[in-house]
């Protein structure tokens, strides 16, 4: 026990991947044995089980804990084991190589900071050798060494090793992956694992352990621009704490933060911590932190805090490389949950551009599904704007998973922002919000005074469905209940604000919607509940509703669609009223929705206790 | 102690994910070193608060000093403590002489399952560590259990980066394992670093023995050790090659795989 008695000051997650039977568990067993990291009796216990079952002892059995794994001689799930070597503690993730268990391999590799990829010298480069190499790159594991195993079975021949090195480097080069080392070994006999082999004098590079020791810990994420995805907002006591993990960059007390996509701004008042004295004044990448702000702004889980100079991207769509692990194939048009950092939002696959064959990286086009264990290039469209980054620039905020029903069914990296039709309005809103001149009265002050939050109730639908009448009924009811509500009718804008527009310009729904949206934005800033219809926009009401939503974001928009006969409703509609409407019943439904969304407090007249936080 | 802070950051992230996604969440606390560190990490994550109840499945065979420690810490830290017990099995005379795996299944696994069913918990936070024994090495941070509380280790859901399984069908629940990446030494280093109060059964009080792992009195034996402080323990662990759970009788043979498949901690 020399190795483990040194004091570890650092730890590193390493995954071992490669084709089935190329010797991953054996390598792991050997690493353990050669660093003296096995507990007393473990070796003897496994050897005894082997004798009992009448089979030859293998190092692999030390870690294949499940009965079934030992019987079948394959690893089913990822196992985590630990050993120490030269002042560093290694957490080794042994991932299964059998293609049936690809999701387990991916789960293992996604946690890794470095990788060892095994190739059998006798069998050469196989299907999973390539797939795993490609996936390591997709998963963001940039430092890895290739280990050519079972050199004893090819007589330790240099030409065999050179052939494999050439073939595999060419394959990796196609997606610009470069291994740090390629090492010839025999895990079974211990050649070039901890000790340099005498059988391969032609090799002068490092042993496996030497190669591991030059892997670095999280290279430089703290030097990047700040990214702090909001995980939760707590109000356990007098403090209102924004909690999250810094995924890139640094923050300190006094920094001005911008939250995307809401464009809210505030300054860090304090960094909170339990049992740390004096309290911290700064934080950096990797840390789970909690901050309080100088102003009570409404921010939610899923937003990304950054500094104003280097904001994340915001869109409803992006292009991505995705690997699919779901039991059911990924289908275009089907609804999935998208999770980017802490944001969770419904999405669908708008386009499947191509399926990538990881054997030869050939592209197969024109598929409408992605099957289990396939990799594909997709465009994903979310129901609401999402803040994210390109994975080439930021690791944690540039990747995502897709959830199908209850399970994570796929993962991917963002390769490109896809411009959506709201882009210009969103940029207008962003610039306007950053420069917004505020008075002394904050949003929260108005909410406390009025007994409700600001919101927009937007009634959409075709002609002659009773939209105006419903809007008037809602306004009257809200005011009768003591709320501050106002009916904003587009006709009133047309004759005043829009009087400068020509007849042709008035026919352009987008410009009309932009003007309407900016007026609505002013009114909600006064704390009002704005009730309105999309009448002025005619049949272009779907696009108009979307534009209004973008401009007033993040104020809640409660959308009601009215139609005489059942028809397709615009996206993000909250309440659908079809057929002849019972206006009183409809009004009650809408008031309930306002309560559910936290706009109205539950009891009329009661001062709301705003848990803006939770 | 940078590596301890890194472990802490990951565990805190997991605890906050659990709190965000599970309405009916509870943490298992056995008063041992691991679950006490876990409890401390909850106070880290929630800035001094523990916003969910702590469960103790009382087999009635625990070492008495553990119960005293439990009640004292719960009082001092203002914890909401929920104690469960499989009274039926105890009334029927269940004890370790009827078979250790049987006894653990009845009093711990089934005791926990009864508690989960009674209270309708959908998320249970546990302090298991990957380095303790083989089946725990295969665990996910968020690990689903079916309607019977069973673990299907053959078909575990993918876990990618910091995205965990937080949605699940009605009637099932999720076990959450924030300490998976910690080793036994890390636990003691952290106890020292944060000055966390722990039960003194882990120390030698003059007779040359101490407990390395705590469980029920009949099935847990002290080890030979003269470690009288946390520093002594850390030093001892750096030089030992004896498995941590060697004093835990239920681990013999394939005991843990059979127990854990059926929902043991």
> Model confidence over B219-259: pLDDT tens digits?
788 888 899 999 999 988 887 767 777 667 666 666 666 67
Nearest to A40 among B130, B154, B241 (CB): B241
Q: Which carries the bigger pLDDT value, residue B114 or residue A253?
A: A253
In chain B the first and final C-alpha atoms are separated, in Å, by 29
**What pLDDT sits at residue A614?**
29
Q: Name every chain B residue with its beta carbon within 8 A of the beta carbon of A40.
A: 241-243
**What pLDDT sits at residue A606?**
47
The rounded distance, in Å, linking the Cα atoms of B245 and B33 is 13
Inform me whether the pLDDT recorded for A264 exceeds 80.
Answer: yes
The rounded distance, in Å, linking the Cα atoms of B233 and A563 is 73
Average pLDDT of A480-507?
85
Q: How confident is the model at residue A503 (pLDDT cuts 50, 70, 90)?
A: confident
**What pLDDT sits at residue A258?**
95
Q: How confident is the model at residue B203 (pLDDT cuts 50, 70, 90)?
A: very high
pTM for this model (two decimals): 0.80
Residues in CB range of B123: below 8 A, 6 or more apart: B18, B21, B22, B24, B25, B26, B173, B174, B176
Same-domain check for residues B140 and B12? yes
Looking at chain A, the whole-number percentage of residues with pLDDT higher than 90 is 43
**What pLDDT sits at residue A558?**
92
Residue B70 in any domain: the answer is yes
Q: A315 at the B interface (CB within 8 A)?
A: no
DSSP reduced 3-state for A34: helix
Q: A66 at the B interface (CB within 8 A)?
A: yes
Nearest to A286 among B9, B51, B168 (CB): B9
Same-domain check for residues B14 and B140? yes
Q: How confident is the model at residue A360 (pLDDT cuts 50, 70, 90)?
A: low
**What pLDDT sits at residue A174?**
87
Pairing of strands A250-252, A241-245: unpaired
Same-domain check for residues B233 and B256? no
- Is the bond preceding residue A278 a cis peptide, omega within 30 degrees? yes
Q: How confident is the model at residue A242 (pLDDT cuts 50, 70, 90)?
A: very high
Q: How confident is the model at residue A604 (pLDDT cuts 50, 70, 90)?
A: very low
Q: Residue A30 in contact with residue A189, Cβ under 8 Å?
A: no
Q: A301 at the B interface (CB within 8 A)?
A: yes
**What pLDDT sits at residue A30?**
86
The CA-CA-CA angle for residues A491, A571, A328, to 5°, reads: 175
Q: What is the dihedral of CA B65, B66, B72, B76, to 10 degrees?
A: 140
Q: What is the largest CA-CA distance in chain A?
A: 94
CB-CB under 8 Å, A288 with B13: yes
Q: Name every chain A residue with its beta carbon within 8 A of the beta carbon of B39.
A: none
Assign residue B72 the CATH number of its domain: 3.40.50.620
Residue B192 in any domain: the answer is no
pLDDT digits (tens, 9 = 90+) for A402-411: 999 988 999 9
Inform me whether the pLDDT recorded for B13 exceeds 90.
Answer: yes
Residue B241: domain span: 199-248
The rounded distance, in Å, linking the Cα atoms of A188 and A514 is 70
The CA-CA-CA angle for residues B221, B223, B229, to 5°, reads: 120
- Is the bond preceding residue A554 a cis peptide, omega within 30 degrees? yes
What residue has token string 């480097």?
Answer: A169
Q: How confident is the model at residue B69 (pLDDT cuts 50, 70, 90)?
A: very high
Q: Name every chain B residue with its beta carbon within 8 A of the beta carbon of A1.
A: 239, 241
Phi, psi (5° rounding) for residue B229?
-150, 170
Inform me whether the pLDDT recorded for A71 exceeds 70.
Answer: no
CB-CB under 8 Å, A239 with B47: yes
Average pLDDT of A508-532?
90
How far is the alpha carbon of A467 from chain B, nearest alpha carbon, in Å?
Answer: 38
Q: How confident is the model at residue A147 (pLDDT cuts 50, 70, 90)?
A: very high
**What pLDDT sits at residue A70?**
53
**What pLDDT sits at residue A33?**
81
Q: How many helices (H) and strands (E) does chain A have?
A: 15, 28
Q: Residue A568 in contact with residue A554, Cβ under 8 Å?
A: no
Domains and CATH numbers, chain A: 10-213 (3.40.50.300), 221-306 (2.40.30.10), 313-420 (2.40.30.10), 426-596 (3.40.50.300)
- Is the bond preceding residue A261 a cis peptide, omega within 30 degrees? yes
Q: Which residues pair with A147 in a beta bridge?
A: A118, A183
Residue B226 in any domain: the answer is yes
**What pLDDT sits at residue A608?**
45
Q: A321 at the B interface (CB within 8 A)?
A: no
Same-domain check for residues B118 and B210? no
DSSP reduced 3-state for A346: strand
Distances (CA, A) of A263 to A64, A244, B14, B93: 50, 18, 27, 64
Interface of A with B in 133-162 (CB under 8 A): none
Inform me whether the pLDDT recorded for A66 exceeds 70.
Answer: no
Same-domain check for residues B165 and B219? no
Residue B188 in any domain: the answer is no
CA atoms within 13 A on the CB side of B20: 26
**What pLDDT sits at residue A211?**
93
Q: Name every chain B residue with its beta carbon within 8 A of the beta carbon of A41.
A: 242-243, 246
Burial of A346 (0-12, 13-18, 19+ CB in 10 A): middle
Nearest Cα residue in chain B from A95? B138
Q: How confident is the model at residue A502 (pLDDT cuts 50, 70, 90)?
A: confident
Q: Which of A62-71, B98-107, B218-227 has the lowest mean pLDDT?
A: A62-71
CB-CB under 8 Å, B161 with A65: no
Q: Which of A253-262, A444-453, B155-164 has the highest mean pLDDT?
A: A253-262
Q: Residue B169 in contact with residue B162, Cβ under 8 Å?
A: no
User: Structural domain tally of chain B?
Assistant: 2
The rounded distance, in Å, linking the Cα atoms of A35 and A193 is 10
CA atoms within 13 A on the CB side of B147: 3
**What pLDDT sits at residue B110?**
87
Q: Which of A139-153, A215-229, B47-61, B196-210 has the lowest mean pLDDT?
A: A215-229
Inform me whether the pLDDT recorded for B193 exceeds 50.
Answer: yes
**What pLDDT sits at residue A95?**
67
Distances (CA, A) of B55 to A107, A226, A241: 30, 39, 27
Q: Which carries the bigger pLDDT value, residue A59 or residue B46?
A: B46
The rounded distance, in Å, linking the Cα atoms of A557 and B69 is 53
CB-CB under 8 Å, B51 with A275: no
Same-domain check for residues B240 and B121? no
The rounded distance, in Å, linking the Cα atoms of A501 and A507 is 10
Tell me the average pLDDT of chain B. 87
Q: A238 at the B interface (CB within 8 A)?
A: no
Q: Residue A389 in contact with residue A415, Cβ under 8 Å?
A: no
Burial of A228 (0-12, 13-18, 19+ CB in 10 A): buried
CB-CB under 8 Å, B131 with A82: yes
Q: Name every chain A residue with its beta carbon within 8 A of the beta carbon of B134.
A: 63, 65-66, 79
pLDDT digits (tens, 9 = 90+) for A371-399: 888 889 899 999 889 999 998 889 899 99
Of residues B249, B203, B247, B200, the one with CA closest to residue B225: B203
**What pLDDT sits at residue A176?**
85
Same-domain check for residues B203 and B152? no
Same-domain check for residues B167 and B205? no
User: How many residues are listed for chain B in this entry?
Assistant: 265
Q: Which carries the bigger pLDDT value, residue A592 or residue A102?
A: A592
DSSP assignment of B195-248 equals T----GGGS--SSSEE-SS--BGGGB-PEE----SHHHHHHHHHH--S-GGGGB
Same-domain check for residues B155 and B110? yes
**What pLDDT sits at residue B252?**
62
Residue B193 in any domain: the answer is no
Q: Residue A26 in contact with residue A58, Cβ under 8 Å?
A: yes
The rounded distance, in Å, linking the Cα atoms of A222 and B259 is 43
How far is the alpha carbon of B87 from chain A, nearest alpha carbon, in Å?
Answer: 32
In chain A the first and final C-alpha atoms are separated, in Å, by 51
Q: How confident is the model at residue A1 (pLDDT cuts 50, 70, 90)?
A: very low
Predicted complex ipTM: 0.90
Residue B129 in any domain: the answer is yes
Q: Residue A574 in contact with residue A196, Cβ under 8 Å?
A: no
Of residues A199, A301, A320, the one with CA closest to residue A259: A301
Tell me the average pLDDT of chain A. 85
Same-domain check for residues B116 and B159? yes
Q: Residue A480 in contact with residue A590, Cβ under 8 Å?
A: no
pLDDT digits (tens, 9 = 90+) for A186-210: 998 999 999 999 999 999 999 999 9
Q: How confident is the model at residue A479 (pLDDT cuts 50, 70, 90)?
A: very high
Same-domain check for residues B179 and B219? no
Residue B59 in any domain: the answer is yes
pLDDT digits (tens, 9 = 90+) for A344-356: 999 999 999 888 8
User: How many residues are listed for chain A in this entry?
Assistant: 614
Q: A436 at the B interface (CB within 8 A)?
A: no
Same-domain check for residues B244 and B255? no
Inform me whether the pLDDT recorded for A567 exceeds 80.
Answer: no
Of residues B152, B261, B134, B184, the one with CA closest to residue A78: B134
The rounded distance, in Å, linking the Cα atoms of A423 and A420 is 6
Residue B153 in any domain: the answer is yes
Size of interface A-B (CB pairs under 8 A): 164
DSSP assignment of A180-209 equals SEEEE-BTTTTBTTTB--SS-TT--S--HH
Distances (CA, A) of A345 to A135, A232, A244, A340, A382: 25, 16, 18, 9, 7
Burial of A476 (0-12, 13-18, 19+ CB in 10 A): middle
């Amino acid at each position: 026990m020399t190795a483990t008695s040194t004091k570890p000051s650092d730890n590193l997650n390493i995954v071992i991947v490669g084709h089935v039977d190329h010797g991953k568990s054996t390598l792991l067993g050997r690493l353990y044995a050669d660093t003296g990291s096995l507990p007393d009796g473990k070796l003897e216990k496994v050897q005894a089980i082997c004798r009992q079952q009448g089979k030859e002892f293998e190092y692999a059995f030390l870690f294949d804990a499940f009965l079934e794994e030992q019987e079948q001689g394959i690893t089913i799930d990822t196992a985590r084991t630990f050993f120490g070597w030269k002042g560093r503690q290694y957490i080794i993730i042994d991932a299964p190589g059998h293609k049936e268990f690809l999701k387990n391999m991916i789960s293992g590799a996604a946690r890794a900071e470095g990788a060892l990829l095994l190739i059998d010298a006798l069998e050469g480069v196989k299907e999973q050798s390539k797939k795993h190499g490609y996936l390591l790159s997709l998963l963001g594991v940039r430092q890895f060494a290739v280990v050519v195993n079972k050199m004893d079975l090819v007589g330790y021949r240099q030409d065999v090793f050179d052939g494999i090195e050439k073939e595999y480097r060419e394959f990796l080069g196609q997606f610009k992956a470069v291994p740090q080392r390629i090492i010839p070994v025999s895990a079974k006999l211990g050649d070039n694992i901890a000790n340099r082999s005498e059988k391969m004098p032609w090799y002068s590079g490092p042993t496996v352990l030497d190669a591991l020791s030059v892997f670095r810990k999280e290279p430089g994420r703290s030097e990047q621009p700040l990214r702090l995805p909001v995980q939760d907002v707590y109000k356990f006591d007098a403090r209102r704490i924004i909690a999250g993990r810094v995924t890139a960059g640094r923050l300190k007390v006094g920094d001005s933060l911008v939250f995307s996509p809401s464009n809210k701004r505030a300054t860090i008042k304090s960094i909170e911590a339990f049992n740390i004295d004096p309290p911290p004044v700064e934080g950096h990448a990797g840390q789970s932190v909690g901050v309080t702000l100088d102003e009570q702004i409404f921010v939610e889980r899923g937003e990304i805090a950054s500094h104003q100079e280097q904001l994340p991207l915001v869109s409803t769509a992006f292009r991505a490389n995705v690997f699919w692990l779901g039991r059911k194939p990924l289908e275009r048009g089907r609804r999935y949950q998208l999770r980017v950092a802490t944001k969770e939002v419904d999405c669908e696959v708008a386009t499947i551009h191509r399926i990538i064959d990881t054997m030869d990286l050939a592209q197969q086009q024109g598929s409408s599904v992605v099957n289990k264990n396939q990799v594909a290039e997709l465009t994903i469209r979310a129901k609401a704007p999402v803040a994210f980054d390109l994975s080439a620039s930021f690791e944690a905020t540039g990747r995502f998973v897709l959830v199908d029903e209850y399970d994570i069914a796929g993962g991917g990296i963002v390769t490109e922002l896809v411009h959506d039709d709201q882009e210009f309005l969103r940029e207008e809103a962003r610039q306007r919000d950053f420069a917004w001149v505020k008075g002394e009265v904050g949003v929260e002050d108005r909410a406390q005074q009025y007994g409700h939050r600001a919101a927009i109730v937007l009634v959409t639908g075709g002609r002659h469905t009773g939209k105006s009448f419903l809007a008037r009924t809602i306004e009257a009811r809200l005011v009768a209940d003591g709320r501050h509500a106002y009916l904003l009718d587009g006709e009133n804008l047309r004759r005043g604000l829009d009087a400068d527009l020509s007849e042709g310009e008035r026919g352009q729904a987008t410009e009309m919607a932009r003007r309407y949206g900016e007026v609505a934005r002013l009114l909600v800033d006064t704390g009002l509940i704005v009730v309105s219809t999309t009448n002025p926009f005619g049949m272009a009401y779907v696009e108009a509703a979307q534009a209004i939503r973008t401009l007033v974001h993040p104020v809640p928009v409660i959308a009601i669609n009215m139609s005489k006969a059942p028809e397709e409703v615009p996206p993000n509609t909250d309440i659908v009223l079809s057929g002849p409407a019972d206006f009183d019943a409809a009004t009650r439904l809408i008031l309930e929705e306002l309560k559910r969304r936290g706009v109205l407090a539950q009891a009329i007249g009661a001062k709301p206790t705003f848990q803006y936080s939770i | 102690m940078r590596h301890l802070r890194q472990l802490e950051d990951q565990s805190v992230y997991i605890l906050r994910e659990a709190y965000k996604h599970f309405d009916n969440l509870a943490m298992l606390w056995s008063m041992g070193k691991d679950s006490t560190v876990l409890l401390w990490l909850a106070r880290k994550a929630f800035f001094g608060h523990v916003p969910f109840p702590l469960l103790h499945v009382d087999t009635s065979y625990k070492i008495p000093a553990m119960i005293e420690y439990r009640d004292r810490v719960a009082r001092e830290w203002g914890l909401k403590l929920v104690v469960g017990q499989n009274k039926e099995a105890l009334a029927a005379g269940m004890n370790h002489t009827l078979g250790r795996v049987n006894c653990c299944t009845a009093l711990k696994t089934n005791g926990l399952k009864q508690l989960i069913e009674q209270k309708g918990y959908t998320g249970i936070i546990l302090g298991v560590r990957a380095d303790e024994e083989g089946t725990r090495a295969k665990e996910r941070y968020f690990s689903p259990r079916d309607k019977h509380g069973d673990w299907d280790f053959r078909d575990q859901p993918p876990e990618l980066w910091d995205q965990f399984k937080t949605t699940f069908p009605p009637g099932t629940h999720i076990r959450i394992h924030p300490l998976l990446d910690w080793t036994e030494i890390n636990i003691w280093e952290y106890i020292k670093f944060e000055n966390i109060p722990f039960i003194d059964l882990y120390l030698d009080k003059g007779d040359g023995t101490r407990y390395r792992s705590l469980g029920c009195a009949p099935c847990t034996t002290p080890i030979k050790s003269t470690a009288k402080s946390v520093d002594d323990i850390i030093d001892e662990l750096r030089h030992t090659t004896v498995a941590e759970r060697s004093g835990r009788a239920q681990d013999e043979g394939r005991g843990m795989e059979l127990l854990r498949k059926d929902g043991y901690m």
